[in-house]
Amino acid sequence: MTDIALPEALASAHKRLERALDEAGRPHDAAMLLAVSKTRPAERLRQAYAAGQRAFGESYLQEARDKQAALADLDDIVWHFIGPLQSNKTRAVAEHFDWVHSVDRLKVARRLDEQRPAGLAPLNVCLQVNVSGEDAKSGVSPDALVELARSVDQLANVRLRGVMAIPAPADTRAAQQRPFAELRSCLERLQKALPDAPLDTLSMGMSGDLEAAVQEGATQVRLGTAIFGQRPPG
Ligand SMILES: *Cc1c(COP(=O)(O)O)cnc(C)c1O
C-alpha cells in the first residue's frame, strides 16, 4: 500500500476540489470533502484529523465501531455511513453516526427513525439512487424515488437531506457526467415534490470522477484513494 504523507495528500485533494469548483463556476464552499476511510487503520484517520479533516465516511459497521472507539477522544468527528445497510445493522448506525448516505428502502429508514436516540439531533439521510450505469445492486430506482422520499420525510428523527449514487467507473468525461446529471435531476424532482424538506445534498463523485461530479453539482464528494492511497487488494 502506498503510504502517501497524509497532510500533503489531503491538501492536494482540497486543491483538486477547489480547481473543479472553479472550472464549474461554483464557489469554494459549494462542496465539501468527505474522507472515505474504510479499510484504513484508526491511526491514519487520526493523521487526517490532525491535518484538519472532520468528516469521515465508513462502509463496514464493525470496522467503523472499532475506529470510533479508538478515536473517542476526537469528539467533533462527523461520521458518515456510506455502505450497504441491512435492517439488523440500523441500531448501531442510528446511535453512532451523524449521516447515512445509503438508505434505499422505507423499512431501513423507519428503523433508523425509531432507533435514533432521543438526545441526539435527527439523523441526516440521503437516499441512494440506482442511476443508469450503476454497479451496485443497491439503490432505489429513480421511478420509485419520490414516493420513498415522501415517506422518509415524514419521519421525525431523520432529516431527508438529498440523494447519493455510485455510478460504475467510466472512461470519458461525458460518460462520467451522464449518471451525475441524472442524479442531479433526481434531487431537483424531490425539491419540487417536497418544497419544505431540507434537500441540499448531492453526494456523488469519488477519486476517479470528482471533476465530473462537481461539474454536475455535487455538494459532497467522497474521496478514499485520493487521500489515503491505494487500498490493499481484496
Ligand atoms: C470506497 C468508496 C468511496 C471512495 O472511493 P475512492 O475511489 O477510493 O475515492 C466513495 N464512496 C463509496 C460509497 C465507497 O464505498
CB 203 within 8 A of CB 167: no
Q: Which of 127, 113, 199, 95 shows the shortest CA–CA distance to 157? A: 113
| Residue whose C-alpha cell reads 441526539 in the numeric block | 120
Ligand 1 midpoint to CA 80 (Å) = 12
For 109, the 3-state DSSP assignment is helix
Q: Give the number of the atom of ligand 1 that is nearest the alpha carbon of residue 226.
A: 9
Unique residue bearing C-alpha cell 504523507: 5
Residue 42 has pLDDT above 50, yes or no: yes
pLDDT (tens digit, 9 = 90+) per residue, 89-147?
999 999 999 999 999 999 999 999 999 999 999 999 999 999 975 655 789 999 999 99
Gap from CA of 62 to ligand 1 centroid (Å): 18
Q: What is the pLDDT of residue 59?
A: 98
Q: What is the pTM of this model?
A: 0.96
Question: Which set of grid coordinates corresponds to residue 81?
Answer: 455511513
55 Cβ closer than 6 Å to some ligand 1 atom: no
Q: How many CB atoms lie within 10 A of CB 15?
A: 10
Residue 63, classed as helix, strand or coil, is helix
- CATH topology for the 6-228 domain: TIM Barrel (3.20.20)
109 CB within 6 A, ligand 1: no
Q: Is the CB of 223 under 6 A from ligand 1?
A: yes
Q: How far is the CA of 223 from the centre of ligand 1 (A)?
A: 6
Centroid of ligand 1 to alpha carbon of 38 (angstroms): 8
Q: What percent of the chain has pLDDT over 90?
A: 93
Q: Report whether residue 100 contacts ligand 1, using a CB cutoff of 6 Å.
A: no
Identify the pLDDT of residue 1. 46
Phi, psi of 170 (to 5 degrees): -135, 155
